Amino acid sequence: MGLATPASEHPTADYAACSGCALCLLVCPIWRQTGDVELTPLGCSKALQFGAAVEALAAAAQWCNLCGACAPVCPERIDLVGLMRSLRRQLPPASIDSEPTARQPLITQPAVRQRLGVGDLLVIEARSYHADYQPRVELYDALRRETRCMLNLDLQRIAIPARLPAPEGHDYACDDLAQARWIVLGRAIERIVVEDPADCSVFERLGRWPVISVEQLAKEAC
């Protein structure tokens, strides 16, 4: 399986192309928790179109967790992740975030797949998934059909991240527990399996289901 997004799907445009359709807003975890358009790539794009200075977008740059959910849904193929990265580089304290991993996810291993089943909620690591969106949509769709596990995908097939940043000095109570509750809402879960081991603690705090990482599943398989 090739893990390369087709060239036709690559983001190529900049913020000036934003039509304001707000499809990116729907999938932005920061907007979902704060309801504040200004903290989103949409808000940044429209503000920049209207002549805002980069400095005025500091809060949005701080809040963005670079999960990349916005990029694959943009019909104008705007490089929204690139925009947010660029803002973070330009604004103090300058921070350059590591690129998402491009390696094959562990769930491609047959032994791991065999250990997933009905009742498992697999929490996909959002950044890697969105960075290589179309191939991974197909990969995880096949996984779901094969194992009948549940996935933390929304109706647009965007991965809902489990953890959010909480910059200091802001009014919003943005917390990981609320995010985790949203992921599990209404699902008939027996076990939670996370791709990113750092997500374990968030779901463990819910205190209702056993939580295991895919890495641990892989070790068990060995």
Partner 1 sequence: MSMVESASIGIPGVCPVGPDSLTGISRQQTNATRWNGANWRDFAIAIRERGIELREALTSTGIFATDAGGTAYGLAHGVVAARSAAQIAQLLKTAQAHQVPVTVRGGGLTTEGESVAFGGVLLDMTGMSRVIAIDAAALQVRTEAGIFWHSLAEELRRYGLDYLSAPLNLTSSVGGTLGVGGIDVNSARLGCSADQALALQVVTPTGEIVECSDTENPQLFRRVILGYGQFGVITEATLKIRPYTPLKMHYFHYDSLRPAIEDLQLLDRNDASDYSGILTIMDCAVNLLVAFDSAEREAAFKADWLPRLRGHGEFGFALCMLRRYAARPWKLAEAWYLWQRKRDLFPELQRPEYMRDGAMLDRTVVFSRAVWKFWGGRQMVIPDLATSAPKFVAAVERGNAVCRKYFPRYTLYCVGIKLRPDHRAHYEMSCIPADAEGWAYGCEFEPVVGKAIYSRDHFQAFKNAIYDIGVELGASYYRFGGMMKGYIRRVFGDAVVDRQLALKRQADPAMILNRDVIF
Q: Mark 56-75 with x for binding to partner 1 (rule: CB under 8 A) and - for no binding.
A: xx---------------x-x
Candidate ranges 111-119, 124-132, 180-188, 207-215; the one touching partner 1 (CB under 8 A) = 180-188
Q: Which is nearer to partner 1, 7 or 155 (CB)?
A: 155
What is the 3-state composition of the chain as percent helix, strand, coil, each rounded to the nearest 5?
50, 10, 45
Q: How far is the C-alpha of 174 from the C-alpha of 185, rounded, in Å? A: 17
Pairing of strands 191-194, 120-123: parallel
List residues bridging with 193 in a β-sheet.
122, 212
Q: What Å distances lie between residue 77 and 7, 64, 71, CA to CA?
A: 11, 19, 7
CB of 111 to partner 1, least distance (A): 25
Question: CA–CA separation, 159 vs 133, rounded Å?
Answer: 10
Per CB under 8 A, 211 contacts partner 1: no
Q: Does 6 engage in binding with partner 1 (CB under 8 A)?
A: no
- Per CB under 8 A, which of residues 127..146 are in contact with partner 1? 137-138, 141
**What mask of x and - would describe binding to partner 1 in positions 96 to 125, judged by CB under 8 A?**
------------------------------
Give the 3-state secondary structure of 138-152: HHHHHHHHHHCCEEC
* Cα–Cα distance measured from residue 12 to residue 34, given in angstroms and rounded to the nearest whole number: 29
Residue among 187 and 219 whose Cβ is closer to partner 1:
187
Q: Does 3 bind partner 1 (CB under 8 A)?
A: no
Member of 35, 110, 169, 207 binding partner 1 (CB under 8 A) = 35
Peptide bond into 93 cis (omega under 30): yes
Residue type, 11: P
Q: Which stretch binds partner 1 (CB under 8 A): 47-55, 82-90, 97-105, 198-206?
A: 47-55
Closer residue to partner 1, CB minimum distance, 52 or 218? 52
Measuring CA to CA, which residue among 102, 107, 103 is closest to residue 144?
107
Q: Is 186 helix (H, G, I), strand (E, B) or coil?
A: coil
49 binds partner 1 (CB under 8 A): yes
| Binding residues for partner 1 (CB under 8 A) | 17, 19-23, 25-26, 32, 35-38, 42-43, 46-47, 49-52, 56-57, 73, 75-76, 137-138, 141, 154-157, 185-187
